[in-house]
A and B are shown apart, each in its own frame.
Chain A
Amino acid sequence: MNARKTSGIAALAALGLLSLGAAPRKDEAPKHQVPRSKDGDVVIALCDGETTLEVDGVKDPSKIDRKKAQEISNHLMSEWRKKNPNAHWDDPAPVLLANAQPPTPPQATKAPVANQGQSASSNADAVQKKQDANVQAGHTYGAFSARDEALWKASAEQIVQEGHKVFHDAKELGSTVAVSCDMCHPDASNTHPETYPKYQVQLGRVALLRDMINWCIENPVRGKPLAEDDPRMKAMEAYIYAQRKGVKLEYGKH
């Protein structure tokens, strides 16, 4: 048993030699010998590996409050600077009290208002006039301007317009009999998108609006069904939904 242990140590020594031989380390970090306090007080060691400070009368480090900690830190730092007079040390910027709090973002110019106007930010001008109004503010989300809103509205309108075009264009729909959707559905009437998804009796399965669009394209329109992500399909869905603004959503209705 002894013999085995010895051979183990020998092996470790060999390994150590080998590793030393491969990468010899000249300047190992000095071991910081922190002296023990005679009274059992807390001793703080600075990261330079030499400087220490005994905190008189404090036995439990967790009892040091923020103010005391700052004093200890300041003291140790001044010790270090005495030892290293040539170190280029820039004083830190004066600490502002306000930074202790989370930063206050600039006030949203168009604060969201509930249940008014066409969108969350509509009627913002009126809100701004009433500066005293008790409204939630201070988020980047929702802090958009009337100009933003106008641009977004135009973008949405663009796809609706594109859908209007496809809906009214037999060629675009791929009709082989010159039939377009508007011939039976002026202003997308009687397309009732608000009732989908629903069990479509004639198909024997649950259908979405796009399934019915494709059914119409295949049958009365006599074209080829569109892929579900076909831009024409997306545009037509946009147009059809846009015509039913304000209608109660009643999926499953027959």
Chain B
Amino acid sequence: MRKPIKSIETRHYEERDAFFDGLRRLDRRSFMKIAGISAGIAASKALISPHSFQLIDVASAAPSKPRFTFAYISDTHLYKKELNDRFVRSILRAVDDVNRLDPQPDFVLFGGDLAQLGQKEELDLGKEILKSVKAPVRMMVGEHDWFLDMGEHWRSLFGEPQYSFDHKGVHFVTLMSVNEKDFWTERGMTPMERMQTVAGLDNGLQSRFEVGAAGREWLKRDLAKVDKKTPLIIFSHSPLYKYYKPWNFWTDDADDVQAILRPFENVTVIHGHTHQMLSNRIGNISFHGMLSTAWPWPYAPEGLPSLTVQMNRADPFSNFDGCGDGRFDVLEAGLVDKLYNLWDRNPVTIRSSYLASNGKNDRPAATKLPSY
């Protein structure tokens, strides 16, 4: 009798079942071994194979031990839980991921856009969920959190959106980069209309994001006391460069901010907002975009940094595909290796050496399914 032809879906589920079945019968040592083997098989076949967060920790362990690590969760876009359970399930999955990390990260960065429409219930729900993160959480604000009440409730929950701190020899700065010039007063918009305008990525009515003159002054003052050899890591919700203006993948005064950061030897900018694998390097500054837990965004039709290795386009039939969380390993030099923990896919690591060499070394695997 002829062997029945199995569909790609059937094969995928069979492989996955076999994989997990094998896992249940293994101790931790063999578990890691099979994880490595399966990663190899998956890579050679270019197949999507499921992995947990910890497996990759082992599989991609850097030759030199990092100085420390921190994880991230970003762009959760929560509605009230009665309205939308889908985004709630996503942030819970991310919280589970970072809580399972072993060893635990030094802290977890929240990358902004906790809420979808800046409403009290949304922000409160987010705060409640983030309480269950075991490691300390560093908060960053996004435009979805801000433009209903201009940050009033967010500040009451999390404090000022712009602050700095030092951690194990690295100077961290969190910027409030999603200020917009007043487009609403003239149009007589209600707070909710203003919020919904900002929430629409392709809504051209709104202004462009900026750190603003006051924010830049604050940054200058903050960095004045920092040694130029000290590694800098900047958190900013919007990318601190100009990628695609119509979608505000953009910071209008990015050039001025970059000028302030230029005298420092090692600068890394980590941003949210773009919901995709995104990497860039301008001069001495490496830029890393974070994944969203809510939904992925397609790559913009133009302006994509040439160093970006795109992620495979998301499967619209999967709730979680193209979403995820991630981790940053801060190396001795102060640069970071970035791990994209893409849900239901192989994770991808972007090494600092890839960006520092302007793409010459350690190029990550190319996308198989580019976006349209």
Which residues of A are in contact with B by a Cβ distance under 8 Å?
A: 168, 177-179, 182-187, 189-190, 192, 195, 201-202, 212, 215-216, 219-220, 222
In the complex with contacts A182-B200, A182-B201, A184-B295, A190-B371 CB distance below 8 A: yes
Which A residues are in CB contact (< 8 Å) with B315? 202
* Residue in A184, A186, A202 whose CB lies within 8 Å of B317: A202
A178-B83, A190-B298 known; A168-B116 Cβ under 8 A: no
Closest beta carbon of chain B to A165's beta carbon, Å: 12
B212 interface hit (Cβ, 8 Å): no
Query: Judging by beta carbons under 8 Å apart, are B84 and A177 in contact?
Result: yes
Main secondary structure of the interface of A (DSSP, over half): loop
Closest to B204 in A: A187
**Please, what's the 1-or-0 string for B280-301, where 1 marks a CB less than 8 Å from any CB in chain A?**
0000000000000001111011
Q: In the complex, which residues of chain B have a beta carbon less than 8 angstroms from the beta carbon of A177?
A: 79, 83-86
A222 to B8, CA, bound (A): 27
Contact with A along B198-239 (1 / 0, CB 8 A): 001110000000000000000000000000000000000000
Known contacts A177-B86, A192-B372: does B316 contact A186 (CB below 8 Å)?
no
Q: How far is the CA of A190 from the CA of B311 in the complex (A)?
A: 14
The CA of A195 and the CA of B79, in the complex, are separated in Å by 33
Closest to B369 in A: A254
Q: Please determine whether A186 and B202 come into contact, CB atoms closer than 8 angstroms.
A: yes
Once bound together, how far apart are the Cα atoms of A47 and B316, in whole Å? 83
A sample of 23 inter-chain contacts (CB < 8 A) reads A168-B200, A177-B86, A178-B83, A178-B84, A182-B200, A182-B201, A184-B297, A186-B201, A186-B247, A186-B297, A187-B246, A189-B298, A189-B301, A190-B298, A190-B313, A190-B371, A195-B372, A201-B9, A212-B316, A215-B316, A215-B317, A216-B316, A220-B295
Contact of B202 among A178, A187, A190, A212 (CB under 8 A): A187
Chain B: CB-nearest residue to A204 = B7
CB-CB under 8 A from A187, the residues of chain B are 202, 246-247
Interface size counted on chain B using CB atoms at 8 A: 26
Complex: A189 Cα to B276 Cα, angstroms: 14
Chain A residues with Cβ below 8 Å from B86 are 177, 179, 220, 222
- The residue on B at minimum CB distance from A187 is B202
Hey, which chain B residues are within 8 Å of A190, CB to CB? 298, 313, 371-372
CA distance A141 to B152 in the complex (A): 63
**B319 contacts across to A, CB distance below 8 A:** 220
Bound Cα distance A216, B295 (Å): 13
Q: Nearest chain B CB to A208's CB is how many angstroms away?
A: 15
In the complex, what residues of B have CB within 8 A of residue A220's CB?
Answer: 86, 295, 316, 319
The smallest beta-carbon distance between A69 and chain B, in angstroms, is 73
Scan residues 1-55 of chain B and give those whose CB is less than 8 A from a CB of chain A: 8-9
Complex Cα gap A82–B47 (Å): 105
Question: Complex formed: what's the CA distance from A182 to B298 in Å?
Answer: 11
* Min CB gap B276→A, angstroms: 11
Which residues of B have CB within 8 Å of A202? 9, 315, 317
List of B residues within 8 angstroms of A168 by Cβ: 200
Expressed in whole angstroms, the Cα–Cα distance for A193 and B317 within the complex equals: 17
Residue of A nearest to B315 (CB): A202
- Given pairs A184-B298, A189-B300, 9 additional interface contacts (CB within 8 A): A177-B84, A178-B83, A178-B116, A179-B84, A182-B200, A182-B201, A186-B247, A201-B9, A220-B295
Chain B residues 294-312 with CB under 8 Å of chain A are 295-298, 300-301
Report the separation of the CA atoms of residues A187 and B79 in the bound assembly, to the nearest whole angstrom.
23
Query: CA A177 – CA B201 in complex, angstroms?
Result: 19
Q: CA separation between A190 and B86, bound complex, in Å?
A: 22
Roughly how many angstroms separate A225 CA and B1 CA in the complex, as a whole number?
A: 43
- Min C-beta distance of B367 to chain A, whole Å: 14
Q: Which residues of chain B (224-264) have a CB below 8 Å from chain A?
A: 246-247
Q: Distance in Å from the Cβ of B303 to the closest Cβ of chain A?
A: 13
Query: How far is it, in angstroms, between the C-alpha of A185 and the C-alpha of B322 when the chains are bound?
Result: 14
Least CB separation from A177: chain B residue: B84
Considering the chains assembled together, what is the distance between the CA atoms of A185 and B372 in angstroms?
12
Chain B residues with Cβ below 8 Å from A195 are 372
Report the separation of the CA atoms of residues A187 and B296 in the bound assembly, to the nearest whole angstrom: 15
Residues of B within 8 A of A179 (CB): 84, 86
Q: How far is the CB of A38 from chain B (nearest CB, A)?
A: 93
Task: Provide the bound-state CA to CA distance between A215 and B296, in Å.
Answer: 18
Nearest to B116 among chain A residues (CB) is A178
B79 neighbours in A (Cβ, 8 Å): 177-178
In the bound complex, CA of A178 to CA of B116 (Å): 10
Chain B, range 313-330, C-beta contacts under 8 Å to A: 313, 315-317, 319
Identify A183's interface contact among B83, B295, B317, CB under 8 A.
B295
Point out the residues of chain B lying under 8 angstroms from A186, CB to CB. Answer: 201-202, 247, 297-298
What are the interface flags for B62-105 relative to A under an 8 Å C-beta threshold, 1 for contact and 0 otherwise? 00000000000000000100011110000000000000000000
Residues of A contacting B296 in the complex (Cβ-Cβ under 8 angstroms):
184
